[in-house]
A and B are shown apart, each in its own frame.
Chain A
Amino acid sequence: MLWCPDWPIAAALRELNLPIDASLALVDKGEVYACSPAARSEGVKRRLRVREAQARCADLLVEQYDPALDERVFEPVVSAIEKIMPGVQLLRPGLCAIPAQGPSRYYGGETAAASVLLSTLSTLGLTNARIGVADSPFAAEHAARATEVLEGAEQDAIWVVPPGESAQFLSSFPLEVLAEPKLAVLLRRLGIKTLGDFSALAAGDVRNRFGVEGAIAHRKASGLDHHSVVVRKPPPELDVLVDFEPALVRIDQLAFAFRTSADRFVDRLSDSGLVCTVVRVVLHSESGEVSDRLWRHPRWFDADDILDRVRWQLQGGGLIEHGLQSGITRVQTIPDTVEDLGDHADGLWGTGPDEGVHNGLARVQGMLGHGAVLTAMIAGGRMLKDRRVLIPWGDSSGSNPIAVRAARQLPWPGKLPGPAPATVFDSPREVRVIDDSGHSVDVDTRGMLTRAPAQFTPPGSPAKQRLVHHWAGPWPINERWWDSSGRALNRFQLVDETGAAWLLLLEDHQWWAEASYD
């Protein structure tokens, strides 16, 4: 059993490149989750409130606790162990179990094997790892932890419990190490204070009285818990990384050169029975720029799709089509989300309604670019253009569709009543609205109309004037007045002599057509 004390702290120190004696506390839900030895010596403890911890240790660095970070930083440690000893079970970051039998025979004894392991880890910069060897994982873990109490000449990072003596080794431990608080309280009331007392009870009696949990705890206390170590299977390498030397400057060259790698990427995935639905494409250029983007696929990626994404990423990055700003030296594709091939297999009679549509739209996207083929959602908003959310085909919407729908249900004071106009101009068109005397109609500071509109000039034809038959307004809209990007404008509806209806905006004394009811 290998144990790295204070692993969350060690991981955070490594990630943040801090010196090993820094005072660091990791915080979870406002309480200290873990703290470094330097902080501990100042009196910081686990479950202390952040403010109190800061009061005790003035130069305390406080970071949010991130469980994913622990796992990520521990991963190279596990792979390093796997290189010298087969079969590692990762119990949690900072603690892993290794079957001792094989390595001890190979390296000539358990102590020798453990020393080899320690020296390997020290090359990774892990100097305070502890190793316990015993009959059962539970006993071994506590043997590793027990190395802390050794002092002076006996100080060592390895504690080997001889075979068959695990129960004896554990017998002096208090009941709390079983991590069963209810059971511990109950046993203490029965006069049982150590694991030794507990393991002296008959297994059948314990089972009858305390159920399965009690039985498991009893086996642990007797050093008899499951002997086998469930060996971790190293995850297959699915990333594909290609370096180009010299750097490639044309997209078609790059696409050609990356072709086989894309095939390899997809083949490897399918060999492991997986398909990739979200891929991360990372491009490094000669001048050191890195372009990193996630691409989603409505179904799953095949090699052509991946090539397309690489191409689009280059085109979309402001690099012109025929020559990049600087050459591309490295292309990396990382599967971000993989799913089981079985869930995506083609059915015997085709895969439902959308297969043809996906293929066809992918072809159009190949012609026009990823962002040219869109699907639409209706969102909430006052301005008609805000109510339309366009999402490139295959992307998930940036915001959650449920949230968008919920926003649509909000009241939105100032939104337009009545039927929706069929044409909403992508950019508002300039129009003119004048009164009888030929002056432009305006709204005064009190929001009142200066004169009634009489004539209207439709967008695109400044010479043609039409009489105004019906109109209504002004309907003031004051959007985000607290913000510099806010707008204050007035809306009008207007029907001209030809029967065409318009939705007009008056902003800063200028008339615009927002939409047309054509």
Chain B
Amino acid sequence: MSPGTTLDQDLLVPELAGQLRSESGLQEKINQMQGSRLGSRRLPTIPALGRILPGGGLMAGAAYSVENSTTLAMALLAGPSGSGAWCSVIGIPDFNVEAAANLGIDLDRLILIPHLDGQWLTVTAAMVDVVSIILTTAPATITSTDAARLRARLRQRGAALITIGAWPQSEAVLSVSDNQWGGLGTGSGHLQTRRLKVTAKGNNGRSRSSELSLTELQQRTWPQLNTADSRTIDQRFVPQVVGA
């Protein structure tokens, strides 16, 4: 309801105005109940990353691209995985499951498809039906129609796609800069701590960044979803509704 209509209502006869008001209230209620349109459902996200992502976290049905850090991509996966969703890693033979487990990804619900035989789109589209979040390397070339088709499928299933490398219609592009390592000297010590600056550039051109340490990405407790029926997992994912 635009402010203009409210003004008009005041000029109308009171009964009619009351009726309109209740109608508008009803409309609002309907909108709220239909709140699961795209972007209003948020997947569990590590707070440190949720702060910089547009919308306050990973959105179901959206695509994100991560430019230069597998660790960051794993951290995005950790939230949904930790709260009981199935995850899939497609086309990344170098993925280290040990690091994934340390970041809180449940290996029992992680599906790896390292080699694709050139069937990236078919396999990814099939996996969208199965799992709630997919991590993949973006193919070198993808036509915009294929990307749009995949996006529609993601939206329909409420799954999220995270690509390593550029993706044409991503909600945000995340990148890591200013890596600072602790514990390593010259000829002595070993890598222990890491501080990194994560920048998220939204598709509206606004970018936000945050400095955080590796331990902040290692959240271990997540709200557990009751996964009695995974076919509805995507609908149940985090019932919280972000303001319209």
Chain A interface (Cβ < 8 Å from any Cβ of B): 349-350, 352-357, 360-361, 363-364, 367-368, 372-378, 384, 387-388, 390, 393, 416-426, 449, 452, 470-473, 493, 495, 498-501, 515, 517-518
Contact = CB atoms under 8 A, between A and B. Distances in A.
Contact of B97 (A349, A352, A376, A426): A376
Contact of A388 (B96, B119, B129): B96
B195 to A, nearest CB: 10
B194 interface: yes
Contacts of B126: 360, 363-364, 367
Interface in B96-147: 96-102, 107-108, 110-117, 119, 122-123, 126-127, 129-131
Interface of B: 68-71, 74, 86, 93-102, 107-108, 110-117, 119, 122-123, 126-127, 129-131, 177-181, 183-192, 194, 214, 227-231, 233
Contacts, number: 161
Nearest to B108: A375
A361 B111 contact: yes
A360 B186 CA distance: 50
A470 B229 contact: no
Secondary structure at the A interface, as helix, strand, loop or mixed, is: mixed
Contact of A384 (B98, B115, B117): B98
A419 B94 contact: no
Contacts of B131: 357, 360
A360 B233 CA distance: 15
B228 A352 contact: yes
Given A471-B186, A472-B190, 9 more contacts: A353-B228, A361-B111, A368-B117, A384-B98, A390-B112, A417-B190, A424-B94, A426-B94, A472-B189
Nearest to A354: B230
B183 A418 contact: yes
B89 to A, nearest CB: 9
8 contacts: A360-B126, A373-B112, A375-B108, A418-B191, A421-B99, A472-B184, A500-B179, A501-B191
A419 B93 CA distance: 20
A422 B126 CA distance: 26
B99 A350 contact: no
A387 B117 CA distance: 26
Nearest to B123: A364
Given A421-B99, A423-B96, A518 B69 contact: yes
Nearest to B177: A499
B187 A471 contact: yes
Residue among B96, B114, B178 with max Cβ neighbours from chain A (10 Å): B96
Nearest to A388: B97
Nearest to A373: B113
B99 A499 contact: no
A499 B178 CA distance: 7
A246 B181 CA distance: 68
A472 B192 CA distance: 12
A103 B223 CA distance: 71
Nearest to B126: A364
A388 B189 CA distance: 26
A452 B187 contact: yes
A83 B227 CA distance: 54
Contacts of B113: 364, 368, 372-374
Contacts of A426: 93-94, 114
Given A353-B227, A355-B231, A419-B214, A472 B181 contact: no
Contacts of B191: 418-419, 493, 495, 501, 517
B229 A353 contact: yes
Contacts of A422: 69-71, 74, 95-96, 99-100
B111 A375 contact: yes
Contact of A517 (B68, B71, B107, B110): B71
A445 to B, nearest CB: 19
A399 to B, nearest CB: 16
Contacts of A372: 113-117
Contacts of A374: 111-114
A433 to B, nearest CB: 13
B130 to A, nearest CB: 3
Contact of B185 (A367, A417, A472): A472
A368 B119 contact: yes
Contacts of A361: 111, 130
B19 to A, nearest CB: 42
A452 B186 contact: yes
A425 B92 CA distance: 10
